[in-house]
Amino acid sequence: MSFTLCLNTSTIKPQPMLEKIRLAAEAGFAGVELWINDVYEYVGRGGEVRDIEKAIADHGLIVPCAIAARSWGEAVGPEYPLALDDVKRRMEMAARLGSPYLVATPPREPCDLAQVAQRYRDLLEIGRQVGVKPTMEYISFFRSVTRLSQAWEIVQEANASDATLVLDAFHTWNAGETVDALRPIPVDKIGHYHIDDAAPDKPAGTQTDPDRVMLGDGPIDLAAEVRLLREKGYHGTVSLELFNKDLWAKDPREVLKLGIERMRELLD
């Protein structure tokens, strides 16, 4: 069984919302991973959510995951209920777009991981009401949940069948971890997989989102990661997720053509 190849729209971020969807389908992707803020912006400029729904359906795409819920981990006092309200609205939007998951982004600044774990349980409860699962993210250049191993600890602490995490090749490498960090994680705890490479001229631990490069152009051993996922039996969704301004300046068709070719070389 093959992986389901998807596009995270950050890879062609400057393109208009409906164009992102069209270009993803034209390039041969089976799914498109959407940012809720992009949806809000589209509506704020006079568009309708139903336009996005129709574009997704017309092009025969799935939405494997939506991004993202923020501020829930660190909000204090009366801000916390407001943060949960925002998470719920984002989950409802994700559900409307057909996404089974919403990425739960950790705090940017240091935060007690026990608090993050408890609050992740709160997100899971909201998700059960809405019908969308929050999937725990780790961000290598943040200062709270920076490593895959930490995200896995939080998922274990949740002690819930619907608790999952989203893998990210760039963040695993940039946090100084190897494929070994993935070994203890059961396949049913992997909600989604972001695939990306890192800049070849900067060491791990110094990179941020704009340093991501096209698959195969950097130092990450993506083949080893994919082999381990296959061994585990993961045949789920995989998104190409890049934030590279040099790629944004190029013809998006050429970027996506190369991107899906590289994904197929690795995954198919």
Distance in angstroms (rounded) separating the CA atoms of residues 73 and 105: 8
Give the pairing of strands 133-136 and 164-168: parallel
Q: From the centroid of its chain, how far is CA 266?
A: 19
Q: Torsion angle, CA of 78/84/85/91, rounded to 10 degrees?
A: 170
| pLDDT for residue 58 | 98
Distance in angstroms (rounded) separating the CA atoms of residues 260 and 178: 24
Crossing angle (nearest 10°) for helices 17-27 and 252-267: 50
Q: What pTM was computed for the model? A: 0.97
β-partners of residue 33 are 8
> Could you tell me the residue range of the domain that residue 24 belongs to?
4-267
Instruction: Give me the residues of the chain with pLDDT under 70, please.
Output: 1
| Residues 40-82: tens digit of each pLDDT | 999 999 999 999 999 999 999 999 999 999 999 999 999 999 9
The total number of structural domains in the chain stands at 1
Tokens 């006092």 sit at which residue? 77
Which amino acid, residue 113?
Answer: L
Which amino acid, residue 212?
Answer: R
Distance in angstroms (rounded) separating the CA atoms of residues 88 and 79: 14
Under 8 Å between Cβ of 32 and 7: yes
| pLDDT for residue 268 | 80
| pLDDT for residue 1 | 53
| pLDDT for residue 262 | 98
Residue 164 belongs to a domain with what CATH number? 3.20.20.150
Distance in angstroms (rounded) separating the CA atoms of residues 156 and 45: 41
| pLDDT for residue 2 | 86
Which amino acid, residue 62?
Answer: I
The candidate with the shortest Cα–Cα distance to 3, out of 258, 234, 248, is 234
Question: HSE (CB half, 13 Å, CA atoms) of 189?
Answer: 22
Residue 107 — φ and ψ, nearest 5°? -60, 145
| pLDDT for residue 222 | 98
Contacts (Cβ under 8 Å, ≥6 apart) of 258: 214
